[in-house]
A and B are shown apart, each in its own frame.
Chain A
Amino acid sequence: MSDGDGKDTVKFLSEKENLLSKRKKKRLGTDEFAQAIARIAVAQVCESLGFQSFQQSALDTLADVGVRYIRELGKTALAFANLANRSQCNVFDVIQGLEDLGSVQGFSGASDVNHPLSGSGVVRDIIRYVCQAEEIPFAYLLPVFPVVKERTLNPSFAQAEENPPDEHIPSWLPKFPDPETYVDLSSGNEKDTEKEVVNKNQQVEEQHIKVERPLLNLQQKLICNGSEAGIAVEQVDAAKAQRAAESNPFLAPPIQFGEKEVSVPALPAKLSDDTLGYHQSCEVLESNLLALEPSLQANEAAASGPCEPQDSRKILLNGRPNIHFKFGNRKKSLGMVTSPRNEGIEKSSLWFGDDCDEIDKKRRRAEKVLWENTEYPPEASYL
């Protein structure tokens, strides 16, 4: 690695560290202040021992360990106090806690089970430490933290010397707020304009709902009647519809059948010249698409030639049939059989009731569209 590269990487590293430190500063935990103070105190202790500088992570670790030591000591002392049926700790609890934590390293007299606590080895060690260590006060002046904010509580009924309005409300509960704070003001210009805006919003919302309803109706009716689009738009007022149309083109009422001139899609010439086989396969595709999968599965056992439609489906993948608008027919009909070549189709459809009538009508209509240009009607293809 050349020197130039090394410098670049060092610069990159320093930038990254700056970013990381910035991120650290932004991330304020709940205990940041206390941890920072602990870090300073630990740094002072280490400096008195002879260290001249620290690794950031090492200092953080040591400060964290120190904090955990304090907390563990407090927890252990409290546990000993609770064991002795007390809630407040005394010096012997602390000494026992110190012994507990010091048992890892060991102290003199640890093995003596009956030793008196006041003369414990840990205490002697601490005394020795205090005597020989130099006194280093903390570098900064600290306030008592965490600072407790003074809250002004709402007065209770009893404190305010009021009677609660109802019997079921006890007097020690806080007072109700002043009625002026929550009552609507009927007078005033600002309030009127606000109300108007509110009314307008409500009207627009009503329009939305009312325009949506005919749309849903339209869809349902299209499903039922195929191409016969009988739209019921009577619910929508003309004025409101206009307003909605002005505001949002997507909310405009749908155009009725026959209103707009739509060009009829021209079938490609190719289709009319093709062989009967292709037409048959197209028909199979259409009937397959019209029928639902569950009905297909239900009728696989009943169908005489289940493999044939599959073959024709394969042929279809190579060819490009016409685009047909399919209106999703949710009604399941047992009468729909995949293979149109069965003579018994029409008979079986008749057996299964009225549900199939609409489907048949749709199919025949679609066939009409498809076979407009053909010379050979579909019936001739049945053999």
Chain B
Amino acid sequence: MNGQSSQQQPKDGRHDDDAALTEFLASLMDYTPTIPDELVEHYLAKSGFQCPDVRLTRLVAVATQKFIADVATDALQQCKARQSAVIKDKRDKQQKDKRLILTMEDLSKALREYGVNVKHQEYFADSPSAGLDAASREE
């Protein structure tokens, strides 16, 4: 009896989890992820993933979107932290606050926590002004 009752609770928990999952998958059909289904299907087919169920592709799309959103959020935090550190000119700060730019520096720092090592060249020495003022040049 005790064993049965102890078993029942996890089973209920699993049922709940299963129910939640089923609900979620059903709700996915209403939610349109930003990453289009065709793109996800193309790349899943490239890697051998075979499933006729649309909900699974939506799940993958949503998971990827979440991943990218997490990385971008981290990069945004890095960018804001860098801007708040510059306290030289009030005018400059105001100008920079308006423009939030996704730069390679912030992105590489954010991606490093996710296990992706991105290293990019600081500058290419193909012109006399290379490497002098990288941030303003890229804009």
Write the residues of chain A forming the contact surface with B, with a CB cutoff of 8 angstroms: 1, 5-6, 9-10, 12-13, 16, 34, 37-38, 41-42, 44-46, 48-55, 57-59, 61-62, 65-67, 69-75, 77-78, 87-91, 94, 98, 104-105, 116, 118-119, 122-123, 125-127, 129-130, 133, 135-138, 142-146
Q: Which residues of A contact B67 (CB under 8 A)?
A: 66, 69
A90 and B51: CB pair below 8 A?
yes
Chain B residues within 8 Å of A123, by CB: 20-21, 24
Separation of A104 and B62 alpha carbons in the complex (Å): 19
**Given A52-B100, A91-B25, A146-B42, CB of A73 within 8 Å of CB of B56:** no
- Assembly CA distance A98 to B21 (angstroms): 14
Q: How far is the CB of B116 from chain A (nearest CB, A)?
A: 6
A54:B64 contact, CB within 8 angstroms: no
* 6 examples of A-B residue contacts, CB within 8 angstroms: A9-B127, A46-B68, A50-B100, A58-B106, A116-B14, A123-B20
* Of the residues B68, B71, B129, contact of A13 by C-beta under 8 Å: B129
Tell me, yes or no, whether B34 is within 8 Å of chain A by CB.
yes
Chain B, 86-130, contact with A by CB distance < 8 Å: what is the 0/1 string? 000000000000111111101100010111101010000011110
Known: A45-B65, A116-B13, A118-B20. 6 other contacts (CB 8 A): A16-B126, A41-B36, A50-B100, A53-B101, A88-B51, A130-B31
Q: Which residue of A lies closest to B45 (CB)?
A: A74
How many angstroms from the CA of A203 to the CA of B59 in the assembled complex?
74
Q: Is the CB of A75 within 8 A of B13?
A: no
Minimum Cβ distance to chain B for residue A46 (Å): 5
Which residues does chain B contribute within 8 Å of A75, judged by CB atoms? 47-49
CA distance A49 to B34 in the complex (A): 13
Are B46 and A41 closer than 8 Å at their CB atoms?
A: no
Residue of B nearest to A71 (CB): B47
A30: shortest Cβ distance to chain B, in Å?
Answer: 11
Please tell me which one of the listed residues B43, B48, B66, B103 contacts residue A78 in the complex, with CB atoms under 8 A apart.
Answer: B48
Instruction: Check A67–B65 contact: CB distance below 8 A.
Output: no
Q: Is the CB of A126 within 8 A of B63?
A: yes
Taken together as a complex, chains A and B put the C-alpha atoms of A255 and B70 apart, in Å, by 88
| Complex alpha-carbon distance, A62 and B71, angstroms | 9
